Structure 1
Amino acid sequence: MSSIKCLIIDDEVQLAKSLSYTLNLSDISCIEAYDGSSGLEALQEHRPDIVLLDLRLPDMSGLEVLAKITQLSLDIPVIMISAHGQTKDAVSAIKQGAVDYLTKPFDVEDLVRLINRTLTQKRLTKEVQYHRKKVISSQTLIGESQIMRTLVADLENIAKSKARTILLSGETGVGKTIVAKEIHNKSDNKNSPFVEINCSSLPENLIEAELFGVEKGAYTGANSTRVGLVEVAEKGTLFLDEIGELPLNLQAKLLTLLESWTYRAVGSTREKKADIRVIVATNRNLEESVEKGEFRKDLFFRLNIIPIEVPALRYRGDDIWLLANCFAERLSSREGCLPLVMPNNIRVIFEKYDWPGNVRELKNIIERLTILYPNKTIIPAWLPIDLRGSPSKSDNIKDAIHDAERELVQRALGECDGKKGLTAEKLGISRHALKRRIQKLGLE
């Protein structure tokens, strides 16, 4: 199989065929189109790696075709082909987004080198962009909604303050750990340790030792002195996740730490000082837990000095789509495939959904789609049923038929990677009939 796919849009049929044959010898497979309209159709159907576009076409100019390609946002590089005397137009094309141009007649070897150089540059640029995004997203919150802008501004102020206890609350999966790291990374102690412990992940008899350390001989099996996480976090941040799960007897010891900033290791009588910031997080309503006797009132008041509510994903508007595409980029790099192509109908579904699992649920869905459908355009039928909604229960027979037909065409398009020719053949209808159905069913 050829490693590079090239679309040639040129009305000189013999030149296009000759070029196609020659490029094929250099491991570049070609699709030919002889006017702008069929070129744009072939572009969407075949998703080439690169386009060779003539400036003069019978139905529209090459510059018009270039503008339409740019509007599609497919990130496919375009090399213009110009005849003598068209240099001015070729330069205009460069300004409009073409990567380069060649003047007829040209050496095919020069073209092959240009294609390889262009695609190598594109790959390297994508890698740099990905790694930049990875660094940024690992250190900052992703979001442009007003609610997130407000949160980020608050975090900036809190991080630089002298506050030593911070309470994060919010539903499961909203990103409380990321918020805690954001506070740490923006603080004056960002180069000191960030130490995390999940209060529900350890047995009750081990949490105290994990937090405060153990003196040798404190209990059977304590054969050596062990440093606790409070000491490990010295000068930095201790993050206690799921604080609502901390047993009551340990809540008292945590309160002592937060009031005096001193602690004792298990089995020790010596007090140690703690110079740390403590951030705690919970998905519980701690006030209700206090009323039920499950959480100490005095500890709650000590923690609740600077409360931060991390918003649920359903309140974040356009951030849903921003996060989906960010995860698609990141996961495609991990899996060694192209990022998912997610059309507007997928966006509509995403933005209507409530996201009970929040950012974590969104990431898991994008990961599943990336693994199961690499390099493909996503269709609603591939989404979890909870996300796309229950099947139609309309009593109207026409509506039921419409829904069934839409599902069938969507599934066929997905299985054929969006290629209309193959889809029409699979469905046993003409390409023109498929085009009419796609328009009628609102699948464009």
Structure 2
Amino acid sequence: MKRILVLEDEFFLLDSMTKYLRGLPDVRVYGYSNLKTACKGLREHPPDLIFSDIRLPDGSGLRLVDELVSLNLAVPLVFISAYAEEHRNRIPDRQNITILEKPLSLKRLRDIAQEKLAEPQTTGEFFFKLSDYLQIAAMGRHSVRVNCADVGTIEVFEGHPWHAEDAEGEGLDAFKRIVANCETGSSPVKITCTYLDAADSDEPTLSGSLDGLLLDAVREVDETERDQPEIFDDTSDFERLYERGVELMLAKQYQAAYDAFSQAHRIDTEHRLVRTNLDRLAQLIQHAKNKPETELP
């Protein structure tokens, strides 16, 4: 029997959603009206599918992402919110996550449930890359320890970079080595995320913003990669465009940076770091466009 978790603080909407979904064959539905009880229910009755609002009385529905990460569950997560566009660019774009706008008809809700439950199960696979885990922690001001198997550990305290450690040492150099192995390695690294209590945290060895540290780490990896023999249509143009893109990205001139990386991409369509930067810049540009219209006064 499949399990569906529904998190919605509006009582009548929660009641309608759970009753309608219970009409599906071989399905058990668990409804919760606040984040605290939903997180408890998630652990007691691991679901096969989740429907959740984002803005809740006791926190953000994005907390469910952290819970799923800590349980190593990659079940489909469908956010339904009246503020979908506002949150769309704050959530990593992954196949497991869908963001829909309220209002949503009950028929559409049932169709989505049937579609998601029919998909092959991905439990045990992982939602995000290392950079996604770190950005989620920063966004929610969470305190977490991100463990990268056989590579190292990065700690984030209340959304700020706190500590990094690997077999060769700790601090900023360890952070860069961990990012290099997890973001650009040829084989995937198993990543787990656990909550971090102040009493369990290590001494601080990092400072600054996570976005800044990640950009510096990726740029350093690329400088190392460029020392290796690679074939481009025009090497000098590629390097010039890439360096220009990094400079503009650090200066937060996102559209100009996107244009520079796009030209570099035309020269080498397989370059991993160029693709990563283009994806990130596209999200930042869209967020900047939506921000004035979606933020509440």
TM over 0.5: no
Larger-gyration structure (1/2): 1
What is the TM-score with the length of structure 1 in the denominator? 0.26
What is the TM-score with the length of structure 2 in the denominator? 0.38
Higher strand share: 2
